Chains A and B, each alone.
Chain A
Amino acid sequence: MPGTVEFIESYFKQTLSSAERAAFEVRCTTDEAFATEVAFYIAARQALREELLMQKVKAWKTEEDIMQAEKAPVIPEASAPVIPMHKRTGIIRWVSYAAAACLILAVSMFLFEARSTPEKLAANYISAEYGHIGQSMGGPDSIQTAVEAYNAKHYDSALVYFKDVEMRDPGNSDAKKYAGLCYLQEKDYDNALKEFDALAAMDLHINAGNMLKATTLLLRNEPGDKEEAKVILKKVVDEQQVGSEEAAEWLKKL
């Protein structure tokens, strides 16, 4: 099939129009001969990549080996001195107990104090609502892989998958929402806000963008964040958006 390889290559280089791409994808499932050509192209690319990687590693490894050899030997953990418990004096032991008790007391006080702070409210909301994503989300395999990674708390991995889906399908609101949540879980509040801003601007029947934006602002807690969060929460309540019940409660406490 003359010209077929070029057509296939154009698809993978993403230089085809959307109509041509759609036609390509349909042919993969309906035209057996064409599917075989695509399979050959992918197999060739895989084989070439493996060969390329082998050559590269060979070239990279030479200097790496030298570098490894020059590295100072690592002191094994077992060689660290071990202080036997029975050698501790009585005073040291009691000082240790007192220090531990003080620490527990301080942590308890801190936790008690933090229970009702805006950050705590926001953290509890995220944990309850988005600590685990339901597996019912439709979409391509990569979304499911991302959901699995998110639920396993591998937020950095999940983010890569969600961003990939978002890049290929900028209108995918789920990808935007969950990419934002990955940033949020990683405490990258600025990037989380960017995602939630974009989500809030989407014309959706159900949109959690504003509630998530307010939550992120409360968690970031920089000067002015609390005030901005209040304005957004009021909007969430007024427009009966996702999270309006929680937003109403929070507004009473903020």
Chain B
Amino acid sequence: MEQDQQILDGLKGGYAERSRHEKILYQQYYYFTDEGCRKYNLEFDDSFSAYSDTILSAIHNIISDRFDGRSSLKTYLYQIFSNKCIDLIRKHTTNKQQVHKTMPVADAMNQLPDNAKNVIEKLVTNELKAKVKSQLEVIGQKCKELLLMFEDGLTDKEIAEILSYSNAAVVKTTRLRCLDKLRERIAG
């Protein structure tokens, strides 16, 4: 569809263009949140959390060319949204005493084979996550901004252009140093 194509092109455009189309995409399918409450019996907060996470995942898949365009954008988003709703339901039924209402299992964890995943999952405790979060606030604004931009799917080259670094290699070195700094603070 023409509207789908406009959004896809916009998301793959420059950073400002991408930000504008992220909003358009978010608003376009916001009604999914009602669907999450109605079809999956989720609380609004959970449905909203699943929806916003869906949008971010979809954006990242689109900009990294992992969306092949074989289905419409709506179908694609709804597939992701349904999965996230199901994951939330499963999480609620297996862990009724949850403390942190976050989306289950990060994408990175899913890349590991089952035996490695089992080991790592035990080490990624809520305590570790809380420590990382608190240290993110004190490693410096530049570091945080750099790490967030990378997490947002921007390449080192794109970050270099936006933040006026001399080249991608400098961004990569700085970024990895920031991660090392974060790790050292947590270990210390």
Contacts and interface: CB of A to CB of B under 8 A. Distances in A.
Contacts of B147: 44, 48
A140 B56 contact: no
B132 A40 contact: yes
Contacts of A38: 120, 123
Contacts of A149: 86
Interface in A41-63: 41-53, 55-57, 59-60, 63
B83 A51 contact: no
Contacts of B116: 25, 28-29
A6 B183 contact: no
Interface in A105-161: 140-142, 149, 154, 156-157, 159-161
B99 interface: no
A47 B56 contact: no
B120 A52 contact: no
Interface string B158-181: 000000000000000000100110
Nearest to A67: B27
Nearest to B179: A5
B35 interface: no
Contact of A29 (B75, B78, B109, B115): B115
B123 to A, nearest CB: 3
Contact of A59 (B23, B80, B148, B182): B23
Interface of A is mostly: helix
Contacts of A160: 79-80, 83
Given A28-B119, A49-B106, A44 B86 contact: no
Contact of A46 (B55, B83, B124, B186): B124
B124 A39 contact: yes
Given A49-B106, A60-B23, A63-B27, A42 B120 contact: yes
A57 B117 CA distance: 30
Interface of A: 5-6, 9, 11-12, 14, 25, 28-29, 35-53, 55-57, 59-60, 63-64, 67-68, 140-142, 149, 154, 156-157, 159-161, 191
25 contacts: A5-B183, A9-B176, A14-B111, A25-B112, A25-B113, A38-B120, A39-B120, A39-B124, A39-B128, A40-B186, A41-B179, A45-B106, A47-B136, A48-B148, A49-B151, A51-B148, A52-B151, A52-B152, A56-B52, A57-B52, A64-B27, A68-B30, A141-B114, A156-B75, A156-B78
